[in-house]
């Protein structure tokens, strides 16, 4: 029997949650026995090659590309998990959510104390994904099956959740492993 596949993505996140996946240390060898990685920055596979058992999403949706990737994950993954506070509640990027988008862009490209931008242009190339009005937690965009809070969630949290799911056991984490910071 072929191994189940896991895919991962970093949307509006800092990659810290992916670092926390790597923080499972030598257990990564056991993980490789349990699963194959599909689309993921871990193996640099850019497009899905087939159906995946589990999708891990780091980061919320800050721009239209994040939304497209997230929808693609929902289509390809049986179980989709929000990993980290950015995915579950917007996290640090969501600090812009009560400031109008234009004010944020003006501050970043025109008015900020360290800005050097003599042409006064706010980047608008077609290649750059459009920013959303605010940063959305993943479950406000697609259905999410499990939430793993934390910034980042600890390696133990990620490990125990993954192993439970991949071995068809209930995800029943001890008190110490669900934390919001």
Partner 1 sequence: MSDQITFTIDGVEVKGKPGQTILEAADAAGIYIPRLCFMKDLIPHGSCRVCTVFINGRPQAACTQPITEGAIVENDTAELKEHRKNIIDMLFVEGNHFCMFCEKSGNCELQAMAYRLGISAPKYPYLFPKRDVDATHPDILIDRNRCILCGRCVEASRDVDKKTIFEFVGRGADKKVAVNANADLKDTDFKATDKAADVCPVGCIIKKRVGFAIPVGQRKYDTKPIGSDIEAGKK
Q: Which is nearer to ligand SF4, 22 or 110 (CB)?
A: 22
**Does residue 133 touch partner 1 according to CB under 8 A?**
no
Q: Which of 31, 86, 94, 165 binds ligand SF4 (CB under 6 A)?
A: 86
Q: Label residue 32 exposed, middle or buried (CB < 10 Å: 0-12, 13-18, 19+).
A: exposed
The two structure tokens encoding residue 47: 């497009």
Closest CA to 40 of 77, 7, 76, 17: 7
Q: Which of 16, 55, 90, 137 binds ligand SF4 (CB under 6 A)?
A: 16
**Does residue 61 touch ligand SF4 according to CB under 6 A?**
no
| Region of 13-21, 36-44, 62-70, 112-120 interacting with ligand SF4 (CB under 6 A) | 13-21
Instruction: Please tell me whether the peptide bond between 8 and the residue prior to it is cis, using omega within 30 degrees of 0.
Output: no
Q: Which of 12, 83, 137, 141 binds partner 1 (CB under 8 A)?
A: 137
CB of 3 to partner 1, least distance (A): 27
Phi, psi of 88 (to 5 degrees): -85, -30
Q: What is the DSSP letter of 141?
A: T
159: Cβ–Cβ under 8 A, 6 or more apart, which residues? 24, 27, 31
**Does residue 92 touch partner 1 according to CB under 8 A?**
yes
**Does residue 11 touch ligand SF4 according to CB under 6 A?**
no
Calpha distance 136→78 (Å, rounded): 22
CB of 64 to ligand SF4, least distance (A): 19
Q: Which of 4, 14, 104, 155 binds ligand SF4 (CB under 6 A)?
A: 14
* Contact between 58 and 86 (Cβ < 8 Å): yes
Q: What are the residues binding partner 1 (CB under 8 A)?
A: 82, 85, 88-92, 94-95, 97-98, 134, 137, 139-140, 146-149, 151, 175-176, 178-181
């Amino acid at each position: 029997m072929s191994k189940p596949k896991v895919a991962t993505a970093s949307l509006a996140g800092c990659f810290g949650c992916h670092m926390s996946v790597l923080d499972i240390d030598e257990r990564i060898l056991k993980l490789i026995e349990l699963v194959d990685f599909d689309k993921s920055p871990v193996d640099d596979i850019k497009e899905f090659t087939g159906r995946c058992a589990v999708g891990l999403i780091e980061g919320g949706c800050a721009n239209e590309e994040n939304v497209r990737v997230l929808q693609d994950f929902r289509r390809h993954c049986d179980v989709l998990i929000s990993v980290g506070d950015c995915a579950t509640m917007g996290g640090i990027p969501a600090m812009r959510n009560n400031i109008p988008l234009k004010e944020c862009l003006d501050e970043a490209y025109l008015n900020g104390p360290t800005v050097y931008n003599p042409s006064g242009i706010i980047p608008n190339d077609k290649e750059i994904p459009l920013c959303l009005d605010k940063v959305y937690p993943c479950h406000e965009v697609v259905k999410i099956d499990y939430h793993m809070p934390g910034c980042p969630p600890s390696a133990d949290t990620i490990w125990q959740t993954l192993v439970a799911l991949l071995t068809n056991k209930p995800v029943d984490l001890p008190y110490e492993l669900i934390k919001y910071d």
